[in-house]
Amino acid sequence: MKQLSLVTAAAFMALALNATADDGSAVFTKECAKCHGADGKGDTAMGKKLKIKDLTVELAKLDAAKIEATVKDGVKDGDKVRMKGFKDMSDADVKAVAKYALTLKK
């Protein structure tokens, strides 16, 4: 198990190094997939813990601007942070990942 997570960590680091501004899928894999799942369905350990909604369904209600704002500011439920905002993500990466997220829509 420990070895497996090391391999996963290495894979994520490799992706991190490869991530370029217009590669939304790499950003998604690196920053979002651990909660939302690679396919956006949220079928991950974190996703289950957070009772995350299926993003592929939720996306029907969202547009790129809304997703970009969500990535920057995160999601709050009252005072509780449900999803942390990615304050340090470059605007180019935010745009790219929002664009990529929209491709996961059902």
The residues of the shown chain that bind ligand HEC, judged by CB under 6 A, are: 31-32, 34-36, 46, 50, 52-53, 58, 62, 67, 70-71, 75, 82-83, 86, 97, 101
Q: Which is nearer to ligand HEC, 3 or 5 (CB)?
A: 5
Degrees to nearest 5, angle at CA 61 with 58 and 63: 110
Contact between 102 and 67 under an 8 Å Cβ cutoff? The reply is: yes
Q: Which is nearer to ligand HEC, 3 or 52 (CB)?
A: 52
CB of 39 to ligand HEC, least distance (A): 13
CB of 62 to ligand HEC, least distance (A): 6
Q: Which is nearer to ligand HEC, 26 or 32 (CB)?
A: 32
Q: Which is nearer to ligand HEC, 3 or 80 (CB)?
A: 80
DSSP state letters, 11-74 = HHHHHHHH--TT-HHHHIIIIIHHHH-TTSS--SHHHHHTT---HHHHGGG--HHHHHHHHHHE
